[in-house]
Structures are given as C-alpha cells and as structure tokens.
C-alpha cells in the first residue's frame, strides 16, 4: 500500500500585481481539511465576499472571484508518494 499525503494549495489574487501562491503537505485528510478551512477563513477576511461569486464550493475546494480581478482558489489534492 502506497503512502498518501494531502496537499493544500492556496492561490490568492489581490490584484494583477499581488498574488499569493502557497502549498502545504499534510499526513492526513483531517489535518489538511483543518488547514484548508483556516486558509479560506483568512482569505475571506481580505475580500468583500458579497461583491463576487463562488465558482466552486465543495468539501475539498473553494473558488471565489469578483469583477475586479480579485480571487482565491483553495483546496486539497490527495497524492500518493512514489
């Protein structure tokens, strides 16, 4: 049985000149999900959520954007270690 890890990806676009791109690896889905939830809460503090709309909203990811080019994409990818 191959070992699995869970990658939390974070892409936040505040403007064309200001972007955050980060990746974090966790050993369990529960830890990754907790981290994803914290990242989403932090991202939402930086934007007026009512000014845009959700492109995707699932248990494993959330994507939001507005007409001003602000957006975030945060989620979890399950990966097998080779």
Closest CA to 19 of 30, 10, 9: 10
Closest CA to 67 of 47, 40, 43: 47
State how many domains the chain has: 1
pTM, two decimals, is 0.89
With residue 79 as reference, give the H or E element that holds it: strand 71-80
- Residue 34: domain span: 4-80
Tokens of 55: 């492109």
The pLDDT tens digits of the residues spanning 18-69 come to 899 999 999 999 999 999 999 999 999 989 899 999 999 999 999 999 998 8
The pLDDT tens digits of the residues spanning 7-31 come to 999 999 988 788 999 999 999 999 9
């Amino acid at each position: 049985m191959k070992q699995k890890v869970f990658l939390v990806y974070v892409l936040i676009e505040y403007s064309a000149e200001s972007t955050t791109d980060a990746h974090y690896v966790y050993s369990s889905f529960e830890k990754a999900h907790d981290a994803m939830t914290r990242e989403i809460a932090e991202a939402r503090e930086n934007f007026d959520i009512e000014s845009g709309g959700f492109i995707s909203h699932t248990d494993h990811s959330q994507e939001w954007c507005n007409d001003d080019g602000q957006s975030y994409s945060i989620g979890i990818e399950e990966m097998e270690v080779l």
